[in-house]
Amino acid sequence: MLDLKFVRENPEVVKQNIRNKFQDAKLPLVDEVIELDAKRRATQQEADDLRNSRNKLSKEIGALMAQRKKEEAEAVKKQVAENAARLAELEGVETELDEKIKKIMMTIPNIIDPSVPIGKDDSENVEIQKYGDPVVPDFEIPYHTDIMESLHGIDLDSARRVAGNGFYYLMGDIARLHSAVIAYARDFMIDRGFTYCVPPFMIRSNVVTGVMSFAEMDAMMYKIEGEDLYLIGTSEHSMIGKFIDQMINEEELPKTLTSYSPCFRKEKGAHGIEERGVYRIHQFEKQEMIVVCKPEDSKMWYDKLWQNTVDLFRSMDIPVRTLECCSGDLADLKVKSCDVEAWSPRQKKYFEVGSCSNLGDAQARRLNIRVKGKDAEGNNTKYFAHTLNNTVVAPPRMLIAFLENHLQADGSVTIPKVLQPYMGGKTELRP
């Protein structure tokens, strides 16, 4: 969410940003919110004047009563009553205007970084760099669920009977591999200085609207019926929510956390749920990383976060590339974002396995996450923190890349050295 003062003082900057994101339908919101803000400030000024007047008139009544000027005191009391009625009316208008302004401000997109390429959708995202050599073997690579089934590692039919499409049973060595990747990713991030955390898997609505846009919320979140609770779509939501309404001392920054959680998503929209696969599903597990930092440090942390994911995948001998998200592919709260994509030898192309985002102070402004520090002159200062997040690894999707890149001609799957301790010393999986 933008600072309303910034919108008021820079309406054309905000409008151009909306155009850059190809959301022209939102352009009228800028003038509308500025007009509502002017009304609110005028209403607030009148209300403040009446409050000041009330204090003065109260003293005047006391003085008149002390002088036994009862009729004059009653006249002043009548004026106080009239002012009180008007004040109550103005306070109602203030509340109404505040709600309208907040609703619009939650819809106007964040200002994107100048380095973000301008484009309408993900087809115009820009490749940054490749890591590792993508290889296509001289034998046919089966679909990932066929590889899993050859290892007795997945049961989609039973899951469909129990829960419907978008769910799975992982079995045996594939289930163990899934857990091994999560455990390895946890230790990988701890070794890089991040604090490990297992967060709540449900969050309240004020946290949901603090970390994401209404459109994302509707497309992703499952609500618990009869309660103000939502199942998390990613642990980033509850991890950032951990700091809601907090005043953090500047010396305590940055906050660097890595978290494990199950994740639940509707996957509502054009992509839909796969009937036979684990690429797009309703339930999965993930290792996440988040950073809460000073504004001047967020660019540095952004580069560190995506590099962590690249390094993790390369340590497991999986070729990857980074892809800069264009303006039209950025969610409204994001300042800048890039995807990490893994190589698929079967499809002969890369596919998304992680997403790194810098949200500037948008989440912090919505959740009231502030920092107490000092300016250059040593004076006390308060400001909103910057927040960032990135996927360390999401095993169901990552397993696709792992199995395809480590499959051998005889149907066996090799286990890279970094994972062998988490797999009981196994060096390969055999059909």
Residues 84, 229, single domain; the answer is: no
Full residue range of the structural domain in which residue 79 is found: 4-105
Residues 12, 144, single domain; the answer is: no
Residues 68, 174, single domain; the answer is: no
Ranges 2-6, 81-85, 149-153, 262-266: which has the least confidence: 81-85
Q: Which pLDDT belongs to residue 268?
A: 65
Q: Which pLDDT belongs to residue 273?
A: 64
Residues 81, 150, single domain; the answer is: no
Query: pLDDT tier at 269 (50, 70, 90 boundaries)?
Result: low
pLDDT tens column, 290-319: 999 999 999 999 999 999 999 999 999 999
pTM of the full predicted structure? 0.90
62-89 average pLDDT score: 76
Would you say residue 263 has pLDDT above 70?
A: yes
Query: pLDDT tier at 267 (50, 70, 90 boundaries)?
Result: confident
Q: Which pLDDT belongs to residue 80?
A: 74
- What is the rounded distance in angstroms from the CA atom of residue 186 to the CA atom of residue 161? 33
- What is the rounded distance in angstroms from the CA atom of residue 128 to the CA atom of residue 229? 39
Residues 143, 285, single domain; the answer is: yes
- Number of domains the chain is built from: 2
77-90 average pLDDT score: 81
Would you say residue 94 has pLDDT above 60?
A: yes
Residues 196, 341, single domain; the answer is: yes
Query: pLDDT tier at 241 (50, 70, 90 boundaries)?
Result: very high
Question: Looking at the domain assignment, is residue 110 inside a domain?
Answer: no
Q: Which pLDDT belongs to residue 322?
A: 98
What CATH number has the domain bearing residue 226? 3.30.930.10
Query: 340 near 320, Cβ under 8 Å?
Result: yes
Last residue of a domain, one of 65, 80, 105: 105
pLDDT tens column, 100-149: 999 999 999 999 999 999 999 999 999 999 999 999 999 999 999 999 99
Would you say residue 393 has pLDDT above 80?
A: yes
402-425 average pLDDT score: 98
What CATH number has the domain bearing residue 92? 1.10.287.40
